[in-house]
Amino acid sequence: MKPFQRTGSIRKIYRRVPSGKSKILVKRERRNKSNCAFCKRPLRGDLRSVQRIYGGYLCHICLKNLIKMSMRGNS
């Protein structure tokens, strides 16, 4: 194992390779699904991307409301 792989945040799978030796497969733990900061709905698809404004932070409904509020100037 490489030094950066010696951590508790990875999953190790012991797999026997065709040559008969056993090898450690290293898999990263999947990140938790991010939720909307307002309504706590789980974000999915492009809502989790960072290119989008408030991506990975607000859902489309709350973002719509936020933009509306900011345009009206009462946020």
Q: Which residues bind Zn ion (CB under 5 A)?
A: 36, 38-39, 59, 62
24/61 with CB nearer Zn ion? 61
How far apart (Å, rounded) are the C-alpha atoms in residues 30 and 35?
15
38/48 with CB nearer Zn ion? 38
Among residues 61, 17, 24, 71, the alpha carbon closest in space to that of 41 is found at 61
How far apart (Å, rounded) are the C-alpha atoms in residues 47 and 63?
10
26/54 with CB nearer Zn ion? 54
Shortest Cβ 70–Zn ion spacing (Å): 16
